[in-house]
Amino acid sequence: MLKALVTDVDGTLTDRRRRINTAAVEAIRTLVDAGIEVVLASGNTVCFMDGLCRMIGTDGTIIGENGGVCRRGYKGSLHIAGDREICLEAFEVLHDHFAGQGIDLELLSAQYRFADVALARNIDPDEARAVLRDHNPPVRVLDTGFAIHIQAPGVNKETAMWKLAADMGLSLDDMMAVGDSENDIEMLRAAGVGVAVQNAPELTRAAADWVSESAYGDGFVEAVKKYYPDLFSR
């Protein structure tokens, strides 16, 4: 049996209106009660993830800021990857560029972020990538469908999975990953089993070992029932 599950949140545990799918919550609690390590993985902040973990009922193991931070359990040390100063410098370049078009960039939860910069989706991410293509030092522009993130290179959910797997004494082959977006591709490819829910775009589906028939949180439930059948056949 797979010993750990890493799951994205928005679009994977929610419905299309970003409301938490209650059946997905119940499925996670079943896994936790059976001793399966459940890791919530998101582009969101540590403080947001902590509240979500407590409400859902996990042990507080998280991947936040799209891999920029991770931590095992509530009392574990927070691991920060990348250099946020690089991301802030790149943000200033974007700010100046889009200000010339009369567009004001909106930072999201800036005071709570340790590793990346998140922006509201009021700009074209492809244009942002083009503006920063030759930026030195290089950065990555990531569109999660909910926000645009600027990240240091080499930082993603997969790199955080490696850190957590080491802390747990597991290999990535022992882990299942579920996601729906561009920022989930690396972890789906790296996990022992990678699952994309039905609402995922084609690139994300292509990275997965299996794609659910159902979308959003219902797809997550379908996936865990498929790969943990003994826990859900009672």
Contacting residues for 232 by C-beta, under 8 A, at least 6 apart = 27, 30, 224, 225
Distances (CA, A) of 152 to 30, 42, 67, 116, 141: 36, 16, 10, 7, 9
Tokens of 206: 């292509």
Tokens 């931590």: give the residue: 71
Note if 10 is an active site residue.
Answer: no
Does the N-terminal peptide bond of residue 137 adopt cis geometry, omega within 30 degrees of 0?
yes
Rounded Cα gap, residues 15 and 227, in angstroms = 22
DSSP symbol at 48:
H
Q: Rg of the chain over CA atoms, in angstroms?
A: 17
Tokens of 138: 């290089």
Report H helices in the chain: 22-33, 46-56, 84-99, 125-131, 157-168, 185-190, 202-207, 216-227
Give the number of other Cβ atoms within 10 Å of residue 83's Cβ: 16
Q: One of 8, 116, 180, 218 is an active-site residue; which one?
A: 8
Which residues are catalytic, by number?
8
